[in-house]
Amino acid sequence: MYRFSIQNQINNAWHKFRSLVLTGVAALAITCLTPASATAQTQPGNTAQNQARPEVNFTADAMDFDRDLGIVTARGNVEVTHDNQTMLADTISFNQKTDVLTATGNITMLEPDGNVIFAEHLEMAGDFKNGIIKNIRMILSDNSRIAANGARRINGDLDLRKAVYSPCKACEDNPDRAPLWQIKAVKVYHDNTRHTIEYTDAWLEVAGVPIFYTPYLSHPDPTVKRESGFLAPSFGNSTELGLFLQTPYFWNISDQTDMTITPALYGNQGTGIISEFRHFPLDGEFQIETSLVDEDTNEFNGHIDSFGKFNIDQTWRWGFEAQYTSEDTYLRRYSFASPQTLTSTLFAEGFRDRNYFRADTFYFQSLKSGANQDKVPVIAPLITYQHIGKPDDFGGQSTLDASFVSLNRENGTDMQRISLRPGWKANFVSAFGEAYKFSVNLDTDLYRISDYTPVDDSKFDGLTARIYPQAKFDWRLPMVKQSDNTHQLIEPVTALIIAPNNVNPKKIANEDSLEFEFDESSLFSRSRFTGEDRAEGGSRIDYGLQWGVYGNSGGKTTAFLGQSYRLHQDNTFAKNSGLEDNFSDIVAKIEIAPNSYFDLFYRTRIAKENGDFKRNEVALGIGVPLLRLSTQYQFFDKQRDSEFEGREDITVALSSQMNRNWRGSMDVRHDIADNQTRSFGSSLIYEDECLLFTTNFSRTFYKDRDLNPTDTILFVVSFKTLGEVRVN
């Protein structure tokens, strides 16, 4: 086998000397070896200049060398390698005197960036950086394609003429049919330095039909993950907003910072702008979303939603969250996330060994109908400290929770509270497999309250306090039975809590324990209240039974049933809470998920006196990707003295992955208590390797202040691989 190699970009003296050497090598090789299977290689010169230059190596089935002309010709399965680039062709010749490589027949070039070039004929310098290519076709690293009549390679860049670009695959049944979309341009320039693909005099065609012309367009090549430019626009129509159009522009400020600016036009409301700024330094992150709309009423409305978190050192960090809107219904009108309350906070926290410290301030903006902002509290500060000790000689650990909070209103009750909660806990496991947990706590709260009027009492201003100890003993016995494909778990659980009765003086205002739901997750809690202003006193016994079957392949079925018995009736709990009597309501949960085609979750609370259902939650999913049904049903009974009016509604959704490209869904929410449909939504999505088209339709059926029932249809078209597109 013949082997021959050359050093590209050599001086004329070296060309002459090497020609003499190669002549002798080739003659000797042809004499001694079979010419049908030949490979070629020589070593470069020893000058410093030549040693710094990469070699051009090629192998072939046959080779000959013209000494007079200085031309090496390789034929049959020719492979050329140079500086991580590889070229395959039927025939390749190299002119040593002009440093020009010529290739013909089934040419394939494998580029270091993953691109593949196909051609019928090319002439290129020995360093592969400059040359001419005829009938070029390219497959980029993301499988998008470029074809052109010809191209020039200029310092590694490609200048293509009469070119076509498309990421869409050709139709298997009719390869000659136009792709779903493509860009045709008089000139296409692939800049390998800036990593962009630029088009001059370009038409965007969809299914072979020209729909858009631009004199200039560019987008990043597949090696670029982030680049400034326009994103896919969204447009549609709404009975509230009228015709609307949003055209986002992405600004890649740096590797850690970017910004998206979205001008918006609303036919019934005016013009607006939405911005999203993101910054990710090494010590944290910062994000802010803002919007501003110049409405036809000559008023400006907008919102802000920001978040930040920054590390100070290995122990401390600080952060904030700021949310505000100029109008209660603004967020819903313009389809932003709209909770009932916007929360702004500034915090600092520290972690060290077994200690945790945090300080917060909170400002709340209520978006509820009829809310009085003067009565919404400002919390400044809320300070918490937690410590857990090292294991002691008895196998237990000491704990300490401490907090201070100051709550103030412009109109209403003000309150400051200092809380200390020292404790001790220990876990034990018996030889029989029983698991025990024992804990004791001493809860101490000191309040300073002003302008507070307890129920059936006069206004109170002054100091009040509460001290109550509590001991808790937990016991459980997990029992497991193993079979070939499943294992079964049966686990009785009980807890005994000992504490004094009537631990909630009337003079303590209830600010953080207004709403709570009694269910299986809170059955064994030390206190079923959600905050600190109400404590659960009295001695009680909690008991329940956990059962489950778990498959080796991942499926499972579980169930839980439990109840609580209080030795002393406590009127702290509201009517219909399930805890107002000695015996609590029965709480239960069932979860069935044998495989990915069926899952059922059911949670309930059953009245102990008559078996009525006071709470029901059902979540069901059934079906395969072709057609899947999911439904959620919720029922909560109203509690006494609660702002929550109770709830009974059902949501039903259907989804379908119709084939590889098409999928759709629809959902409807119905308020059973009011016998009124609240909302309906549907979507149809087409997605393939080169296009994403989304159609969404939604309708709300209710009126809320200045918002009427609204129909909205939204379209989003995204031409994949174009990424961020620049248009001039």
Q: How far apart are the first and last CA of the chain?
A: 57
How is residue 491 written in tokens?
């686990």
Task: Supply the pLDDT for residue 57.
Answer: 78
User: 3-class SS at 375?
Assistant: helix
Mean pLDDT of 631-645: 74
Residue 582 DSSP class? S
Asked if residue 74 is part of any domain, the answer here is yes
Long-range CB contact pairs, 274-282, < 8 A, 24+: 274/246, 274/248, 280/256, 281/256, 281/310
Mean pLDDT of 71-77: 88
Using an 8 Å Cβ cutoff, are 80 and 87 in contact?
Answer: yes
Using an 8 Å Cβ cutoff, are 507 and 460 in contact?
Answer: yes
DSSP letter for each residue of 56-86: EEEE-SEEEEETTTTEEEEEEEEEEEETTEE
Give the integer Cα–Cα distance in Å for 473 and 471. Answer: 7
pLDDT band at 6 (very low <50, low <70, confident <90, very high): very low
Question: Which region among 71-75, 313-317, 555-559 has the lowest average model confidence (pLDDT)?
Answer: 71-75
Give the integer Cα–Cα distance in Å for 631 and 616. Answer: 13
Asked if residue 304 is part of any domain, the answer here is no
The per-residue pLDDT for range 417-427, each reduced to its tens digit, is: 999 999 999 99
DSSP letter for each residue of 447-468: EEEEEE--TTS--EEEEEEEEE
Task: Supply the pLDDT for residue 18.
Answer: 39
Task: Supply the pLDDT for residue 219.
Answer: 85
The per-residue pLDDT for range 454-466, each reduced to its tens digit, is: 866 778 889 999 9
| Mean pLDDT, the chain, whole residue set | 86
Using an 8 Å Cβ cutoff, are 111 and 118 in contact?
Answer: no
Percentage of residues in the chain with pLDDT exceeding 90? 58
How is residue 391 written in tokens?
């294991």
Residue 129 DSSP class? S
Closest CA to 646 of 608, 616, 626, 686: 616
Task: Supply the pLDDT for residue 655.
Answer: 97
CA distances 247 to 27, 233, 340, 690, Å, are 69, 5, 29, 20
Task: Supply the pLDDT for residue 34.
Answer: 31
Mean pLDDT of 690-707: 90
pLDDT band at 645 (very low <50, low <70, confident <90, very high): low
Using an 8 Å Cβ cutoff, are 436 and 473 in contact?
Answer: yes
Which stretch of DSSP H or E encloses residue 426?
strand 414-429
pLDDT band at 665 (very low <50, low <70, confident <90, very high): very high
DSSP letter for each residue of 468-487: EEEEEEEEE--EEEE-SSEE
Residue 374 DSSP class? G
| pLDDT at 218 exceeding the cut of 90 | no
Task: Supply the pLDDT for residue 311.
Answer: 95
How is residue 219 written in tokens?
């987008």
Task: Supply the pLDDT for residue 301.
Answer: 92
| pLDDT at 43 exceeding the cut of 50 | no
pLDDT band at 25 (very low <50, low <70, confident <90, very high): very low
Question: Which region among 38-42, 67-71, 306-310, 580-584 has the lowest average model confidence (pLDDT)?
Answer: 38-42
Match 């702002």 to its residue by tokens. Answer: 643
Closest CA to 550 of 486, 507, 620: 486
HEC string for 608-650: CCCCCEEEEEEEEEEEECCEEEEEEEEEECCCCCCCCCCEEEE
For residues 579, 583, 587 and 588, what is the CA-based torsion angle, rounded to 10 degrees? 180
Closest CA to 464 of 484, 480, 450: 450
Mean pLDDT of 307-313: 95
Closest CA to 148 of 110, 186, 175: 186
Task: Supply the pLDDT for residue 585.
Answer: 94
Burial (0-12, 13-18, 19+ Cβ within 10 Å), 708: exposed
Asked if residue 86 is part of any domain, the answer here is yes
Give the integer Cα–Cα distance in Å for 425 and 9. Answer: 79
Task: Supply the pLDDT for residue 724.
Answer: 46
Give the integer Cα–Cα distance in Å for 564 and 582. Answer: 8
Asked if residue 326 is part of any domain, the answer here is no
User: 3-class SS at 405?
Assistant: strand
Using an 8 Å Cβ cutoff, are 524 and 518 in contact?
Answer: no
The per-residue pLDDT for range 79-106, each reduced to its tens digit, is: 988 778 888 999 988 888 888 889 999 9
Asked if residue 25 is part of any domain, the answer here is yes
Question: Which region among 232-241, 286-295, 540-549 has the lowest average model confidence (pLDDT)?
Answer: 232-241
Using an 8 Å Cβ cutoff, are 42 and 21 in contact?
Answer: yes
Give the integer Cα–Cα distance in Å for 167 and 488. Answer: 52
Burial (0-12, 13-18, 19+ Cβ within 10 Å), 238: buried
Asked if residue 363 is part of any domain, the answer here is no
Number of domains into which the chain is organized: 1
Give the integer Cα–Cα distance in Å for 707 and 332. Answer: 9
CA distances 614 to 4, 22, 259, 529, 643, Å, are 88, 96, 49, 18, 17
| pLDDT at 608 exceeding the cut of 50 | yes
Mean pLDDT of 597-614: 92
Task: Supply the pLDDT for residue 228.
Answer: 84
| pTM tops 0.85 | no
CA distances 302 to 236, 237, 288, 295, 705, Å, are 21, 21, 13, 10, 18
When mean pLDDT is compared over 15-19, 498-502, 540-544, the highest value belongs to 540-544
Using an 8 Å Cβ cutoff, are 63 and 80 in contact?
Answer: no
pLDDT band at 641 (very low <50, low <70, confident <90, very high): low
How is residue 682 written in tokens?
């549907």
| Separate counts of helices (H) and strands (E) for the chain | 3, 44
Asked if residue 325 is part of any domain, the answer here is no
pLDDT band at 40 (very low <50, low <70, confident <90, very high): very low
CA distances 104 to 36, 75, 93, Å, are 20, 10, 9
Task: Supply the pLDDT for residue 718.
Answer: 87
The per-residue pLDDT for range 409-447, each reduced to its tens digit, is: 999 899 999 999 999 999 999 999 999 999 999 999 999
pLDDT band at 617 (very low <50, low <70, confident <90, very high): very high
More confident residue, 554 or 362: 362
The per-residue pLDDT for range 465-485, each reduced to its tens digit, is: 999 999 999 999 999 999 888
Mean pLDDT of 111-125: 89
Closest CA to 107 of 143, 135, 131, 82: 135
User: How many Cβ atoms are within 10 Å of 296's Cβ, its own excluded?
Assistant: 13
Task: Supply the pLDDT for residue 41.
Answer: 43
Note down the domain range covering 206.
Answer: 4-229
Closest CA to 210 of 233, 178, 235, 188: 178
Which residues sit opposite 546 in a β-bridge? 491, 560
Using an 8 Å Cβ cutoff, are 509 and 575 in contact?
Answer: no
Which residues sit opposite 443 in a β-bridge? 468
CATH number of the domain enclosing 223:
2.60.450.10
| pLDDT at 4 exceeding the cut of 50 | no
When mean pLDDT is compared over 47-61, 662-676, 701-715, the highest value belongs to 662-676
Using an 8 Å Cβ cutoff, are 63 and 72 in contact?
Answer: yes
Task: Supply the pLDDT for residue 727.
Answer: 43
| pLDDT at 240 exceeding the cut of 60 | yes
Using an 8 Å Cβ cutoff, are 400 and 421 in contact?
Answer: yes
Asked if residue 457 is part of any domain, the answer here is no
When mean pLDDT is compared over 78-87, 513-522, 558-567, 570-579, the highest value belongs to 558-567
| pLDDT at 77 exceeding the cut of 70 | yes
Using an 8 Å Cβ cutoff, are 598 and 604 in contact?
Answer: no
